[in-house]
Amino acid sequence: MHFTLLTGLLLGIAQAVVVPNHPGPFSVTMRVKALTDHSRTDPLNNSVKRQVLVSVFSPVPDSTKCSTEVIPYMPPATAASYGALAQSAGLPADIFSSFQLELCNLSNAQARRCRGGGKTTHRFPLVLFSPGLAESRLLYSVTAKSIAAQGYIVVTIDHPYDTEVIEFPDGSVVRSNGTDGMEQQLTEIRAADMSFILSRLRHLSSSDNPLFRTLPAKVDFTHVLAMGHSLGGAAAAQVLPLDKRFLGGIDMDGRLFNPVLTSGMRQPFLMLGRERHAEEDATWDSFWKVLRGPEGMVGVAGTTHASFTDLPALVQALGLPAEAQSRVEQVLGTAGGSRMQEIVAGVCAGFFRSVFEGEFWKLLEAIKEFSEVSVRNGSFGGV
Ligand SMILES: *[C@@H]1O[C@H](CO)[C@@H](O)[C@H](O)[C@H]1NC(C)=O
Ligand SMILES: *[C@@H]1O[C@H](CO)[C@@H](O)[C@H](O)[C@H]1NC(C)=O
Ligand SMILES: *[C@@H]1O[C@H](CO)[C@@H](O)[C@H](O)[C@H]1NC(C)=O
Ligand SMILES: *[C@@H]1O[C@H](CO)[C@@H](O)[C@H](O)[C@H]1NC(C)=O
């Protein structure tokens, strides 16, 4: 994260700032769940079993049942960790604890009624989302909510000892001990995490687990996708050839790593990034050559690497004075927070539909909605 030169421009920020997502046909509710892989020793800590933490964002089929709940965007240790970075750039240290998310609050009985039964059961495709290197899953909650509002169950993931700080619901905190030079290994560990999460969620959904008992919708496990930002996008690429349950994937502005960088894959894949990503990162053109499914390499004008996180939406919610805004744009791009939410949700949903329907050209229709988005390379033939 690189905020710069904002010193003194942030006076008068309100105590609490609700960060809006891009709205869609659905309200969104959220659950947090720790999942332990009892079959796997943590490759980064041999004294524990691998345990990930996920947020599950679910569309609500009947929003009339929602009451509004407002929750902190980040719990204290995570907000403090981001706050330390913010402070080093001259921002208030407590800035991340002032952000809030608005969600649909449902009682268990209301959730059950929303889920329905028999013919009216509401099922939504599943999207697993892996964050940037060391970043918290929470830095993508607004993005996940924007995608979920389009009709997808979106699961954001904290990967232990890679994510800087993870606060588990039982109060335990797991911190990274540094990740320098470990990128390639981390993409493989994250890919294994994604396969495990998919298996575990599938298992829990068929048991009487509270997670699924309190969700207002069911997961369509025949329609599963992987995506991520930065190293998380590389992890999404990594899992696809290994686990065919994932029907397609999206890398948002992430450099790719072996083995998938040379082996490629057959599933549809979208590379969605800043406009000149391929000119600045040779792995994009190399990867393009080994992709065998329908594929798109798409750029968004006015973006930087950080544009594909929640940061632009957070900053926009602060309502900065114009002179601060122009400084922020040097780091976060000119595309703007709400517009980035709209673009990412629209292009991702367009890609997902094109994968499920086997009509990859439909992605082009979604892209045409946004003047900032252009296709650098594309093979949009039939699947
Ligand atoms: C590994 O896990 C143990 C038990 O939770 C913990 O005490 C230890 O600090 C962890 N190691 C690292 C490198 O974080
Ligand atoms: C959700 O609603 C329940 C029941 O009305 C209430 O007890 C609970 O505090 C609400 N949760 C939040 C986070 O507002
Ligand atoms: C944490 O990282 C430091 C510096 O790389 C290393 O010396 C130390 O052994 C590491 N600790 C653990 C528990 O892995
Ligand atoms: C991808 O697009 C770039 C820029 O238009 C072009 O130079 C390159 O040849 C294309 N690559 C492929 C494999 O189509």
Residue 249 is encoded by which pair of tokens? 């994937």
Residue 298 within any structural domain of the chain = yes
Quote the CA–CA distance of 80 and 215 in Å, as a whole number: 30
> Is the sign of the CA dihedral 176, 181, 182, 183 positive or negative?
positive
Mean of per-residue pLDDT scores for the chain: 92
147's torsion region: left (phi>0), alpha (psi -120 to 50) or beta?
A: alpha
91-133: pLDDT as tens digits: 788 999 999 999 999 999 899 888 876 556 789 999 999 999 9
CATH number of the domain encompassing residue 226: 3.40.50.1820
Distance 47 CA to ligand 1 centre (A): 7
User: What does the pLDDT read at residue 128?
Assistant: 98
- Give me the residue label for tokens 């013919």: 119
Our mutation pick for probing the ligand 2 site, out of 30, 69, 71, 110, counting the most ligand atoms within 8 A of Cβ, is: 69
Report if residue 81 sits inside a domain: no
Query: In this structure, which residue's CA is closest to atom 8 in ligand 3?
Result: 177
Per-position DSSP letters for 153-220, written without gaps between them: EEEEEE-TTTSSEEE-TTS-EEE----TT-HHHHHHHHHHHHHHHHHHHHHHHHTT-HHHHS-SSEEE
Task: Tell me the mean pLDDT in the region 158-170.
Answer: 97
pLDDT band at 325 (very low <50, low <70, confident <90, very high): confident
* 383, pLDDT greater than 80: no
Q: Which ligand is nearest to the CA of 42?
A: 1
Listed in sequence order, the residues at least 6 apart from 290 whose beta carbon sits closer than 8 Å to its beta carbon are 261, 262, 263, 264
373 - beta bridge partners?
300
Could you tell me if the CB of 177 is within 6 A of ligand 1?
A: yes
In this structure, which residue's CA is closest to atom 7 in ligand 2? Answer: 107
Averaged pLDDT for residues 151-164 = 98
Atom of ligand 3 nearest to the CA of 180: 5
In tens, the pLDDT along 214-241 reads 999 999 999 999 999 999 999 999 999 9
Q: How far is CA 165 from the centre of its chain?
A: 17
Per-residue confidence band for 288, with pLDDT thresholds at 50, 70 and 90: very high
**Residue 298's pLDDT band (cuts 50, 70, 90):** very high
Asked if the structure places residue 287 within a domain, the reply is yes
Domain count for the chain = 1
Is 247 a member of any domain? yes
Domain assignment present for 34:
yes
Instruction: State pLDDT tens for residues 32-49.
Output: 999 999 999 999 999 999
- How much distance in Å is there from the Cα of 43 to the middle of ligand 1? 12
Structural domain containing residue 222: 26-66+108-378
307 alpha carbon – ligand 3 mean position (Å): 32
Closest ligand, as measured to the CA of 378:
4
| In-domain check, residue 334 | yes
Classify 265 as helix, strand or coil: strand
Residue 5 lies in a domain: no
3-class state of residue 342 by DSSP? helix
pTM: 0.94
Of the listed ligands, the closest to the CA of 160 is 1
Using the atom order of ligand 2, give the atom closest to the CA of residue 69.
Answer: 14
Give the contacts of 109 (CB within 8 A, at least 6 positions apart): none
DSSP label of 19:
P
Q: What is the amino acid identity at position 151?
A: G
Q: Is the pLDDT of residue 276 over 80?
A: yes
205-219 tens-digit pLDDT: 998 899 998 999 999
Neighbours of 256 (CB within 10 A): 22
The answer to whether residue 383 is domain-embedded is no
pLDDT in tens, 367-376: 999 999 999 9
Lowest-confidence segment of 41-50, 269-278, 353-362 by average pLDDT: 353-362
Cα of 46 to ligand 1 centre, how many Å?
Answer: 8
Please list, in sequence order, all residues whose beta carbon lies within 8 angstroms of the beta carbon of residue 229, skipping any fewer than 6 positions away: 130, 131, 132, 135, 140, 252, 253, 254, 308, 309
Secondary structure (DSSP) of 270-306: EEEEETTHHHH-THHHHHHHHB-SSEEEEEETT--GG
**Residue 297 contacts residue 271 (beta carbons within 8 Å):** yes
Residue whose Cα lies nearest atom 13 of ligand 3: it is: 177
pLDDT score recorded for residue 7: 46
Beta-strand ranges (E) seen in 230-360 are: 246-252, 269-274, 295-300
Task: Report the distance separating Cα 316 and Cα 325, nearest Å.
Answer: 9
**Distance between CA atoms of 379 and 360, rounded to whole angstroms?**
8
